Each structure stands twice: as C-alpha cells, then as structure tokens.
Amino acid sequence: MSIIASKENQIYKLCSKLTARKYRDACGQYLAEGERVIHDALKTRQKLVYVIMEEGYRPVYDFPCTAVFMERKLFQKIAQTAASQGILAVLEKRQLDEKQFREAIKKKSGNVILLDRLQDPGNIGTIIRTADAAGYSGVMTIKGTADLYAPKIVRAAAGSLFRMPVFAADSPQQAISLLEAAGKRILATGFDTELYYWDMDMRRDIGLIIGNEGNGISPELMQLAHSIIKIPMTGSIDSLNASVAAGILMYESLRK
C-alpha cells in the first residue's frame, strides 16, 4: 500500500474538506472513524470509497476499496478523536427520496423518530442508536438539525446510522405530510396535556417528535401533532436530556 506524505495529496484534501457540512452535502460523502464503526460499515455493506490508516496500523480486513497509509502527523490532522484508533474511511451517503423513505419505514414497527432542530452530537447519536435498538424503522430531521453525517454523530451512533433509513425534511409541513401519508400518528411531548406517555398505544406506526435541547419542540410542530404526551417529573426538575426522554418514549413501544 502507498503512504500519503503530503498535504497536496487528493485523498488528504478530501478528508480535510469532509469535516465541513457544506462539502459533505455537495459531494454526498462523509467520514467514519474507528475500528468498530468501520467493521459495522463493512458488515452492513456500506459503499466505502477510501480507507485511510495511520502509518504502522495493522489492518485486520481486506477492504473493498482503495486503502492507503498516511504519515502520522497528517493522519492526526484529519482524525476527529483525541485518541484515534488509527483508521478512518470515506463513505458514500445513503440518500433516500421521499418515496424510498416512505417504503423503508413500513418495516419493523413502522415507528419513526423526528428530530426537531437538535444540535448536540452526543444526543443525536445516542437517539439514533436507541431508535435502532428499540426497533424503530427510520429517523427524520427538520431543517436546523445538525448533520447526521457529521463525524461525531457517526461515531456516537455506533453503526446504527448504517442500518437506520434517514430523511432530511426541509420544513415541518413536509415532515408531517410524509409521515401522515405513511399512516403515522404524530406524537409530541409537552406540559399542556393530561396524557402521560403510557396512555398512548406506541407499539406501531408512531411519528415521535423530539425537540431542540434548549427550546423544545417548535410551536408549528406542536400544532401539527395529533397528540401531546408528557413524562412525569417530580421535584424542581422541569425537563430531561433529549436523548434520555427519547429513550424512555421509544422503549415504551417494546414494553407494551
């Protein structure tokens, strides 16, 4: 295998650019880092473009794409973790249109998680991973949500992003229209309701909205929701971490 030793190398330049959302959107590619994540990418037959390894790394797999080594000082510049495992990959995005996403969310429970302007990579990655574990069929985002293909989110999702169909809606109206056309009941969380989450049948065909960490669900989506539910809280606590709340609600579909 060749060793990349120059910042002028095209693969190095590509990896550097893919740290920016606008370039990921433009070229339809993204970065995934770490042994477990790349193992899951291979296992789920993702489209790998390049595998880049730090000099001295000992590969375990044969890669179905161009694989190269990179000098340590260059690799550390494109690595997204402080203690990198010495391997990352460039992958092609799975980009579904509305029809393809609608077909994909008919599988399993048919439940879908809708992220409304969430920004924290750890929250988003954890929610995607939990949705996968809870048998959800897909993930939607509203414009204003962080890019699901950002390196920190890809890593936090721990391979679940490869298995979960995703779709980015341009507006609340587009998101709700798509979910309603697929026969989903739209649930939002809020305080102005007498319904607790266990009062709803959440086993199948739910579109569950999770709101922004600081501002919650937008008023527009609250108006479009079919039902508003709440999670009981005691003491002086008036809100939960977004990923914690999402986990409680998504696992209700399995409890029943």
Asked whether residue 154 carries a pLDDT value surpassing 80, the answer given is yes
The CA distances from residue 112 to 76, 155, 183, 185, in Å, are: 37, 21, 11, 10
- Amino acid sitting at position 201: D
What pLDDT sits at residue 239?
A: 79
**Mean pLDDT, residues 40-67 taken together:** 95
What pLDDT sits at residue 235?
A: 76
Q: How many residues does the chain have?
A: 256
What pLDDT sits at residue 134?
A: 96
pLDDT in tens, 16-40: 999 999 999 999 999 999 999 999 9
What pLDDT sits at residue 255?
A: 82
Least confident span in 133-147, 171-185, 217-231, 235-249: 235-249
Asked whether residue 236 carries a pLDDT value surpassing 80, the answer given is no
Task: Find the farthest-apart pair of alpha carbons in the chain and give their distance in angstroms, rounded.
Answer: 64
**Mean pLDDT, residues 219-236 taken together:** 93
Specify whether the CB–CB gap between 108 and 137 falls below 8 A: yes
Distance CA 104, CA 96 (A): 9
Asked whether residue 1 carries a pLDDT value surpassing 80, the answer given is no
**Mean pLDDT, residues 79-83 taken together:** 87
What pLDDT sits at residue 253?
A: 86
Asked whether residue 130 carries a pLDDT value surpassing 80, the answer given is yes
The residue among 204 and 254 whose pLDDT is bigger is 204
- Partners of 31 in the β-ladder: 90
Percentage of residues in the chain having pLDDT higher than 90: 88
In the structure, what pLDDT confidence band is assigned to residue 80 with cuts at 50, 70 and 90?
confident
